[in-house]
Amino acid sequence: MSTVEGTGTDTPDAGLPTATRWQDPGAQPAASGSAPPRPRAGTSARTVDALREIVDWEHGLVAPAIHFDEEVYRVEAERVFDRAWLVVGHEDMVRKPGDYITNYMGEVPVIVVRDAQGEIRVLVNKCSHRGNQVCLFDRGNVKGFTCSYHGWSFGLDGALTGAPMEQMLYRGELDKAAWGLEPVAQVVNFHGLLFATFDRSAPAFESWLDADARWWLENFVLSTPLGGLEMLPGWHRYRSPGNWKLVCENFIGDDYHVYSATHVSWLAMIQDFMEQGVRIPIITYPGTTDGPMYEGSAGGNGRGAPMGMGMVVADNDSLFKRDLAEAQELGPEAVDWVEYRREKLLELAQGRPVKPYSFMNGLVYPNMALMGFFSPMLGRHFQMFHPRGPVEHECWQWTMVERDAPQVVKDLAVQRVYQGQHGAGVIAPDDVENFERMVEAGKPARSWRRPFHYGLQLGHEDEGPKGLPGNLGPNPSEVNQRQFYRFWLEMMERS
């Protein structure tokens, strides 16, 4: 690409400092520091053939073609969503035999159902006869599923149990055992969180999600040592522009956007209304903490799927004290509980030099986003970002609270979820707006090659306290975004 003065096209951004100034892609700069010149991602090469060149996570450079190109999207369905271990729900959603929820794995509709024997099944929501959708509801309790086209019926375990006029029409020759609903290849219940994969030869769950990631997930997200989580029924869903990866990279580690620009209106509100003495849940929420906070990373780095935890509060009592002060207003039960769980967390960190207390945001690769929001006085968010074409996704959200929390805490914690990081809250819509703008700015193929900048804390990833599973590094950071794209690239290159 050459620059022609005064034509108004292809003009480099003159105001950028030299280190990040756009140059010919044949000599791309690293997002941080300098890097050797690399081969140019030619315009003639298809994006899927040039992925290694345009997903240069090591230098913090990833070209946006992967968020727009339809071919990337198609290949991604096979190589990422058909192979990954994907979260499909929580066992709390299907407590009794016959309970089911519907969800998606990538773009594939699935039914998560507890069968008569109490086993949780994940079935493709598609009739084996001629492909009709067999379940039309978001959730329910049933004895089986009957197709509306020719009336084949299926048990809770997916087995074909009947076909109308079977004896007369099929003359006893229909091999019912072979014509059940398609089950996914494998299902794992990890402390209540349900994972499924379509891939029979997928890595074992324990190597997909390595021990470090499982430690954080079990203890800090699912709060297993504290008595686990309890779910509020009902999917809260919204459509949003933007490739699913854009929002997932945001959750895995973009703590930069929170205080720098995206959510400042919310933070200003907290300040303003607190000063006026207005006390409603989202306003009395601890918007920040004094003292150390880290970017937590687990998995990735060649050890399975990456999991990121943003704003991990560790060796820092300020939030515990904040929670305690709030609990005092809620009554002695709340105080006892806040103190009890603090002790449990200290026990968990026994013998370790670092004592974690809470986390803000997170993601389990590829698309299970999490919000811990600093504090148990705020419900835990689970947000699935389902792909819906290259430039659109859907958020499917559910809320959980710690099961052993007193009711006053649960009530407060729940309100904060719906007033904040939620499709109708005062936080999430500002994220959605950014994705809308990114799509408008990035749609033309002309704009797909100039890489995005993922250089935050590049080379400083492990400058944090040692001794916990995974890694704690400086915050904000883009270490987890780099790991996200590294793993994504690995999956995309496995043909």
Partner 1 sequence: MTTSVNWELKREVEDFLYREAHILDEHRLEDWLDLFTEDAEYLVPLREYVQGDVAPAGHPVIKDDKQMLTVRVRKDATGYSHVETPVSMTCHLISNVVVDEGPEPDEVEVLSAFTVRQARKLRDEAWWAGRRRDRLRRVDGGWKIARREVHLDATVLPRGIAIFF
Which DSSP symbol is given to 439? H
State which residue, 74 or 143, has the beta carbon closest to partner 1.
143
The contacts of residue 46 (CB under 8 Å, 6+ apart) are 71
- Phi, psi angles (nearest 5°) of residue 452: -80, 160
State which residue, 137 or 149, has the beta carbon closest to ligand FES.
149
The rounded radius of gyration (Å) of the Cα atoms in the chain is: 24
User: What are 330's two structure tokens?
Assistant: 């809620």
Residues facing residue 119 across a β-bridge:
none
Give the type of residue at 163: A
Least distance from partner 1 to the Cβ atom of residue 374, Å: 19
Terminal Cα distance for the chain, rounded: 32
Q: Choose from partner 1, ligand FES, Fe ion, none: what does 392 bind? Cβ within 5-8 Å by kind.
A: none
Task: Tell whether residue 111 is a contact of partner 1 (CB under 8 A).
Answer: no
> Is residue 359 a contact partner of residue 210, using CB atoms and an 8 Å limit?
no
How many Cβ atoms are within 10 Å of 209's Cβ, its own excluded? Answer: 26
Which one of 76, 326, 431, 461 is in contact with Fe ion (CB under 5 A)? 431
State which residue, 38 or 176, has the beta carbon closest to ligand FES.
176
Q: Which segment (161-169, 238-246, 330-338, 363-371) binds partner 1 by CB under 8 A?
A: 238-246
Q: Which segment (234-242, 248-256, 315-323, 462-470) binds partner 1 by CB under 8 A?
A: 234-242
Q: What is the length of the chain? A: 495
Strands of 201-241, DSSP E: 229-241
State which residue, 295 or 431, has the beta carbon closest to Fe ion.
431
Least distance from partner 1 to the Cβ atom of residue 132, Å: 17
CA distances from 387 to 78, 182, 243 (A): 13, 21, 7
Least distance from partner 1 to the Cβ atom of residue 262, Å: 7
Q: Choose from partner 1, Fe ion, ligand FES, none: what does 149 bind? Cβ within 5-8 Å by kind.
A: ligand FES
Least distance from Fe ion to the Cβ atom of residue 263, Å: 6
Least distance from partner 1 to the Cβ atom of residue 139, Å: 6
Calpha distance 132→147 (Å, rounded): 7
Specify the 3-state DSSP secondary structure of 19: helix
Q: Which residue has the tokens 């559910």?
A: 398
- Residue whose C-alpha is closest to residue 438's, from 236, 238, 250: 250
Task: Tell whether residue 176 is a contact of ligand FES (CB under 6 A).
Answer: no
Task: Tell whether residue 437 is a contact of ligand FES (CB under 6 A).
Answer: no
Task: Tell whether residue 262 is a contact of partner 1 (CB under 8 A).
Answer: yes
Q: Choose from Fe ion, ligand FES, partner 1, none: what does 234 bind? Cβ within 5-8 Å by kind.
A: partner 1
Give the type of residue at 71: E
User: β-strands 153-155, 86-90: how paired?
Assistant: unpaired
What is the sign, positive or negative, of the torsion defined by CA atoms of 183, 184, 186, 189? negative
Residue 434 CB-density burial (10 A; 0-12 exposed, 13-18 middle, 19+ buried): middle
* Closest residue by beta carbon to Fe ion: 431
User: β-strands 139-141, 144-146: how paired?
Assistant: unpaired
Calpha distance 71→74 (Å, rounded): 5
State which residue, 270 or 348, has the beta carbon closest to partner 1.
270
- Residue whose C-alpha is closest to residue 162's, from 180, 149, 148: 180
* 92 alpha-carbon distance from chain centroid: 19
Q: How many residues sit close enough to ligand FES to count as binding (CB under 6 A)?
A: 9
Calpha distance 352→330 (Å, rounded): 32
**Per-residue binding letters, 115-154, with ligand FES (x by CB under 6 A):** ------------x-xx-x--------------x-xxxx--
Which one of 77, 202, 426, 491 is in contact with partner 1 (CB under 8 A)? 426
Q: How many residues sit close enough to Fe ion to count as binding (CB under 5 A)?
A: 1
Q: Which segment (231-239, 337-345, 431-439, 465-473) binds Fe ion by CB under 5 A?
A: 431-439
Q: Which segment (256-264, 307-315, 331-339, 463-471) binds partner 1 by CB under 8 A?
A: 256-264
Least distance from ligand FES to the Cβ atom of residue 182, Å: 13
Q: Choose from partner 1, Fe ion, ligand FES, none: what does 404 bind? Cβ within 5-8 Å by kind.
A: none
Binding interface with partner 1 (CB under 8 A): 98-99, 136-142, 231-241, 261-262, 264-266, 268-269, 272-273, 278, 280, 282-283, 394, 399, 414-415, 417-419, 422-424, 426, 428-430, 432-434, 436, 440
Binding interface with ligand FES (CB under 6 A): 127, 129-130, 132, 147, 149-152
Binding interface with Fe ion (CB under 5 A): 431
